[in-house]
Amino acid sequence: MILSLISVLCLVAILVYLAYFFITYKRIPASISQTAEFPHCYYGFQFVICFIFGFLQYYFPTIYSFADYGYISILLNGGCAGLALAGYFSYSPWEETERDMTIHKIGSLCGGILLITFYLLVLKWWLFIGIVLTICLVLGYFIQGNGWNRKKDNSITFWVEIGLMIIVGRDLIKHFLAN
């Protein structure tokens, strides 16, 4: 029960971070990672993302154990590890090396793909995931994203990340209510 409560609090932490960002800067970013470029957001972003996905690496094996799901349960841990790593190697307003950006982009992409693959294969949320990601792609295509010192860009990545949070959040809330 305590772990389920912490997992829901992790979801709330991401929502609080995004609410702070929207209230303070009144912009839709091109990606959640780009919020780290804004003043006073870098360390908050790193803490929220690294802590939350680090915790989920501990939490998910308690509900999707290796004994019950076999090797496919490793997809969740790999996805959380990729996203936590991406959070650590996020956009730095002080220095942005090519190596850090490569680690960040690969970690984000692989983490998201591994999480979605798990939910598609194990929980068979095909319709739910399809609807959520389609809506997110359409929103991202039509809503412009704004970085701190960047020209306008689409916000597809941002909205797909929001979609990923909706998918994972649904699972976390479902387990919380089951306890």
104-142: per-residue pLDDT in tens? Answer: 888 888 999 999 999 999 999 999 999 999 999 999 999
Share of the chain above pLDDT 90, in %: 45
Task: Indicate whether 11 belongs to any domain.
Answer: yes
Domain that holds residue 127: 2-166
Task: Indicate whether 171 belongs to any domain.
Answer: no
What pLDDT, on a 0 to 100 scale, did the predictor assign at position 93? 59
Residue 56 clears pLDDT 80, i.e. is over it: yes
Q: pLDDT digits over 133-179, tens only? A: 999 999 999 988 877 666 667 788 899 999 999 999 999 999 999 98
Task: Indicate whether 174 belongs to any domain.
Answer: no
What pLDDT, on a 0 to 100 scale, did the predictor assign at position 31? 85
Task: Indicate whether 160 belongs to any domain.
Answer: yes
Task: Indicate whether 178 belongs to any domain.
Answer: no
Task: Indicate whether 172 belongs to any domain.
Answer: no
Q: Give the total number of structural domains in the chain.
A: 1
Task: Indicate whether 148 belongs to any domain.
Answer: yes
What pLDDT, on a 0 to 100 scale, did the predictor assign at position 164? 93
> Cα dist. 10→39, 61, 100, 170 in Å?
23, 16, 25, 13
Task: Indicate whether 175 belongs to any domain.
Answer: no
> Which tokens go with 131?
């609807």
Length of the chain: 179
